[in-house]
Amino acid sequence: MGFQSVRDLDVKGHRVFLRADLNVPLKDGKISDATRVQETLPTLKCLLDGGASVVLASHLGRPEGKGYEAAYSAAPVAAWLREQGFDCRLASYVNGAAVEAEAAALKPGQVLLLENLRFEKGETKNNPEFAASLARLADTYVNDAFGSAHRAHASVSGMVADFPKDRVAAGFLMEKELKALGKVLHNPEKPLVVIFGGAKVSDKIELIQNFLGKADAILIGGAMSYTFLKAQGYEIGKSLCEEDKLEMSLDLLKQAQAKGTRLLLPLDHVAATEFKEDADCAITVDQNIPADRMALDIGPETVAAYAAEIRAAKTLLWNGPMGVFEMAPFASGTLTVAEELADAADKGAFVLVGGGDSVAAVNKAGVASRMSHVSTGGGASLEFLSGLELPGVTALQR
């Protein structure tokens, strides 16, 4: 790993700026789902147990960036942390002389939670003066917010250069994400099989290209598969299609062949007369979709073929559903893939699930806890797996 872990830091008597992802849903001024705060508690506890005081910081929702807005205040997070037994106070604001005094007054074991970073436009604009004002609050920097690592924001990348390299580290959640994603991307045990679904080829071009030549097989499902099928001359009826991506889809198929990656497309479909839960459904006889129907899930022959690929793999990555799994008649493909991946993980394969819809699918199937790693990173994990540089990760490099 090209960065220092929080476990390598000596923090006794130090004041640590901990950038976390505390962007939790709020209802009636209270946290309605504390998962994101809970994810960062191991890092926070490690710092406090090591004798540090902590300046904790995050964004929350999308305030306008024109100063304090009560609806987006970090106060509910401070209250929740106090309920969990942390000696936590809410700072009077995000930055400035008063906040610097509040940080300086911290004793080991105490936490100062800054107000919502996005109250200041300087955060998202990565303004150097704003970044420097944050850096003045501590002598050590730890980033545990992998979900924000793809954003070149002041608290994520801009302020990091103001700390000595040996006082910069990744938190446990950041480290866990980078290790899991790195394993799939850089040193997977073969065979490596990746499963890509979702609506648009255009959203996954870099992702697909980055795995050509790396993956033994790429299994395609969801609406993006109909663009590939139409490009090859199949009938797709009323199914979704990106007409302006047909040529590019053909090019990806050619690249896959040239680089030795098998790119598999659905062999049959669950097709309906309209986009409705109670619409008339039928399974197609082959890859073609009747003119009066739209495909909304992969068919049983495809499920069987994809299951065989999953069972033969040692490393697996899943991003994107196989169909409209929110509607019961079109959920079977996605939920079966989730079950097969859980079985593969049970048998010792390394299975990484990334991306909001896939995470929702493994939760719906009740198999999330059986996966090797479920990435919380959303856009950050997608960009990392596409081979793009993440500003928040680059900033941590030694």
| Residue 149, C-beta contacts closer than 8 angstroms, at least 6 positions apart | 143, 156, 174, 377, 380, 384, 390, 391, 392, 393
Please state, in angstroms and rounded to a whole number, the distance separating the CA atoms of residues 180 and 195.
17
Contact 75, 90 (CB under 8 A): yes
Please state, in angstroms and rounded to a whole number, the distance separating the CA atoms of residues 150 and 390.
5
Catalytic residue among 259, 356, 364, 378: 356
Tell me whether residue 356 is one of the annotated catalytic residues.
yes
The beta strands (E) that lie in 114-264 are given as 140-143, 168-170, 192-196, 217-220, 262-264
Tell me whether residue 171 is one of the annotated catalytic residues.
no
**CA-CA-CA-CA torsion for 21, 22, 23, 29, nearest 10 degrees?**
180
Q: CA geometry: angle at 323 spanning 302 and 267, to 5°?
A: 20
Tell me whether residue 61 is one of the annotated catalytic residues.
no
Which amino acid would we find at residue 232?
Q
Residue that is written with structure tokens 């199937």 in the block: 365
Catalytic residue among 61, 109, 182, 379: 379
Q: What φ, ψ does residue 38 adopt, rounded to 5°?
A: -60, -35
Q: What φ, ψ does residue 30 adopt, rounded to 5°?
A: -130, 155
Catalytic residue among 200, 259, 314, 364: 200
Catalytic residue among 36, 118, 293, 370: 36
The beta strands (E) that lie in the chain are given as 15-19, 26-27, 30-31, 53-57, 87-90, 110-113, 140-143, 168-170, 192-196, 217-220, 262-264, 269-272, 281-283, 294-298, 315-319, 350-353, 373-374
DSSP state of 114: P
Would residue 283 be called left, alpha or beta, if left means φ above 0 and alpha means ψ between -120 and 50 degrees? beta
SS3 of 116, please?
coil
- In DSSP notation, 21-86 reads -----EETTEES--HHHHHHHHHHHHHHHTT-EEEEE---S---SBS--GGG-SHHHHHHHHHTT-
Tell me whether residue 379 is one of the annotated catalytic residues.
yes
Provide the annotated active-site residues: 36, 200, 356, 379
